[in-house]
Structure 1
Amino acid sequence: MAEGLAVLLAFSLASCTNAPDLPGPGPSAADIRIAAVGDMNGVRTKSPDSPSGRNGAAISQLVQDNQIDAFLGLGDFQYSEAHCDDYVKYWRALWGGTKSKLYWVSSPNHDWKPGRNEDLDDFMSGKCPGDPEKAAINQQRGFIGNGQPYSKDFGNWHFAFLSSALWTYKPDAATAVTGWLDKDLTTAQAQGKHLAVVFHEPYFTSNTEAHGRAKEQKPWIDVMWKHRVRLTLSGSQHNYERSCPVNNADQCVGDGMTAFQVSTGGIGLREFTSNPPYIEKRFSDTHGFLRLTLHPDGSFDWNFVPTSGTGTDYGTRAAG
């Protein structure tokens, strides 16, 4: 078993490292426009008037109108333990219009649970019967297995995409990904890129009755801080949060990571049960999604777009 895991991981990491980095959705001198959200579609949900439906329609319209360059799917695409039929019948009905610009990560339980539901990677690669369309990253890289890390340049920004499910199902592989992340960010930093990381389960977060912070991910956070990652995106909590620029010791610092936790895609929302000092904005009464405009100098603007509720958050982080 250990030998098989080692071979699989080696293949996965080699595939990601050596995969050609095709041109991003915009030139290096241009702004990059992104939408992001996780925790999207409930069990057998396909009503256009549901919170999921409103979000899926709004983001699909942005894709159709070429108003965004990428949609970042932050995990938990389809509840509860989804298989090909569920993605095709339900997720595609409300969110299928986003797939042509979709970059995704898998979460534990709802996206990927070995032996129970392992079809998200097939769905994103157009292998599920009834939906041959591939997600944007799969159009560029081919098949990407659940848990397999990858990275992608968008203009002058470099994004690493990590599956936090590895810490649940394959902790040895998660540890190996720590080394991959270090090398990946080292290379991007040497090229003068501004750095961002996407993963499902948040580290900088308030507790809820269901989840606390993903403490096991601290090795990844240490690597992110080492390379002065400017931006992280995650989901899981069923609410919205934004941190101060924070370091790996939970301190607000000028060169820290701005951590967005955006799990307002359509699943029932959860109240907060703790109040960490590094969280600057949060709410748990609104479904919607995050829009980001990333500038070539490392500055960025954010705007939370409510689709069911009234919570808002917007601002700018300066370069430097």
Structure 2
Amino acid sequence: MNGVRNVDADSPSGRNGAAITRLVQKNQIDAFLGLGDFQYDTAHCADYVKYWTPLWGGTKPKLYWVSAPNHDWQPGRNEDLDNFMNGQCPGAPAKAAINRQRGFIGNGDPYSKDFGNWHFVFLSSAQWRYDPAQADALTKWLDDDLAAASAEGKYLAVVFHDPYFTSDTDAHGRSTELKPWIDVMYKHRVRLTLSGSQHNYERSCPVNNEDRCVSDGMTAFQVSTGGIGLRSFTSDPSYIETRFSDTHGFLRMTLKDDGSFSWNFVRTSGLSSGTDSGTRQAP
């Protein structure tokens, strides 16, 4: 979301944070899902307080965060994101929305949350990098969590930082290690996923766990246009329907209780060619 030592309100990050903050202050959104990375490059308490808070701190009252992206959390190196989101960093006592509801959430800890008739799971894909055994164990947790929500008639969504359904860039390819999670998601017919990391925007067709466009697949959104420099694409997967890498902004979504949803990418800086909107009908 925010670059190293950036406090410029007129930067792409500053414009994005201000636009979302206005929606929060006017109570025009129910939730802001923070996909990360929150603060480049290796963030400690002082960095979140000095740099992220002036530009993005106004989003905290509605913030549900991925716990935690890899730049914000590397065990033994930078582990303050969980403290910051719980209001424990000196100079930033405000808590994120999920922390006000649940208390302290440790970096790497999964959690789930219902929004109306939708059930959202938040996972730390960084676990595959830092603790593969724990990431593998989370596969069963995810299976059990989605099964319980599905039995209650909820529509399912999963949020994580590193994308699986994505185009390559010079910096990153798809996170293939997530495949066990993807298999579980399709098993339970997850309707949508949200991820970031690539520094551009992508939307897939409804896709299954074998990269095929199918009517009961997941619509995968990859939204990493918060404010860091954007990256061009170097591959062209068949399951990607829309993408651009020239525009900063955020994705605004409306979820209906019948399982339908609509989306609109809101441009805050960059080229006007970066746009995407549409609706997926109820199953």
Equivalent residue number for residue 183 of structure 1: 144
Equivalent residue number for residue 48 of structure 2: 87
How big is each residue's C-alpha offset from its partner over 1:230-264, in whole Å with a ceiling of 9 and x where there is no partner?
Answer: 00000000000000000000000000000000000
Equivalent residue number for residue 132 of structure 1: 93
Confirm or deny: 8 A CA contact 2:67 2:122 kept in the other structure.
Answer: no
Confirm or deny: 8 A CA contact 1:225 1:257 kept in the other structure.
Answer: yes
Deviation of the 1:106 alpha carbon = 3.6
Whole-Å separation in 1 of the counterparts to 2:9 and 2:67: 24
Equivalent residue number for residue 212 of structure 1: 173
Whole-Å separation in 2 of the counterparts to 1:46 and 1:58: 15
Equivalent residue number for residue 168 of structure 1: 129
Deviation of the 1:109 alpha carbon = 3.7
Equivalent residue number for residue 258 of structure 2: 297
Deviation of the 1:108 alpha carbon = 4.6
**Which of 247, 250, 257 is matched with 1:286 structurally?**
247
Pairing of 1:44-123 with structure 2 (within 5 A): 44-123=5-84
User: Which deviates the most, 108-117 or 201-210?
Assistant: 108-117
Whole-Å separation in 2 of the counterparts to 1:75 and 1:253: 29
Deviation of the 1:110 alpha carbon = 1.3
Partner SS for 1:277: coil
Equivalent residue number for residue 8 of structure 1: none
Whole-Å separation in 1 of the counterparts to 2:17 and 2:103: 24
How big is each residue's C-alpha offset from its partner over 1:289-308, in whole Å with a ceiling of 9 and x where there is no partner?
Answer: 00000000000000000101
Whole-Å separation in 2 of the counterparts to 1:292 and 1:205: 20
Instruction: Report the AA paired with residue 45 of structure 1.
Output: N
Confirm or deny: 8 A CA contact 1:76 1:106 kept in the other structure.
Answer: no
Deviation of the 1:107 alpha carbon = 4.5
1:254 maps onto 2:185 in alignment: no
TM-score between the two structures when normalised by the length of structure 2:
0.98
Structure 1 gap ranges (5+):
1-39
Confirm or deny: 8 A CA contact 1:106 1:200 kept in the other structure.
Answer: no
**Which of 273, 281, 303 is matched with 2:234 structurally?**
273
Partner SS for 1:290: strand
Structure 2 gap ranges (5+):
none
**Which of 266, 275, 280 is matched with 1:312 structurally?**
275
Percent of pairs with identical residues: 79
Whole-Å separation in 2 of the counterparts to 1:184 and 1:236: 25
Confirm or deny: 8 A CA contact 1:75 1:106 kept in the other structure.
Answer: no
TM-score between the two structures when normalised by the length of structure 1:
0.87
Instruction: Report the AA paired with residue 91 of structure 1.
Output: W
Confirm or deny: 8 A CA contact 1:299 1:318 kept in the other structure.
Answer: yes
Whole-Å separation in 1 of the counterparts to 2:260 and 2:135: 30
How big is each residue's C-alpha offset from its partner over 1:189-217, in whole Å with a ceiling of 9 and x where there is no partner?
Answer: 00000000000000000000000000000
Confirm or deny: 8 A CA contact 1:70 1:102 kept in the other structure.
Answer: yes
Whole-Å separation in 1 of the counterparts to 2:214 and 2:243: 19
Equivalent pairs, count: 281
Partner SS for 1:91: helix
Deviation of the 1:81 alpha carbon = 0.2
Partner SS for 2:84: helix
Whole-Å separation in 1 of the counterparts to 2:68 and 2:145: 21
How big is each residue's C-alpha offset from its partner over 1:65-104, in whole Å with a ceiling of 9 and x where there is no partner?
Answer: 1110000000200000000000001100000000011000
**Which of 85, 102, 117 is matched with 1:156 structurally?**
117
Q: 1:156 to 1:109 in 2, by over 3 A?
A: closer
* TM-align CA RMSD: 0.6
The list of structure 1 runs, each at least 4 consecutive aligned residues, that deviate by more than 2 angstroms after superposition, is: 106-109
**Which of 251, 260, 263 is matched with 2:224 structurally?**
263
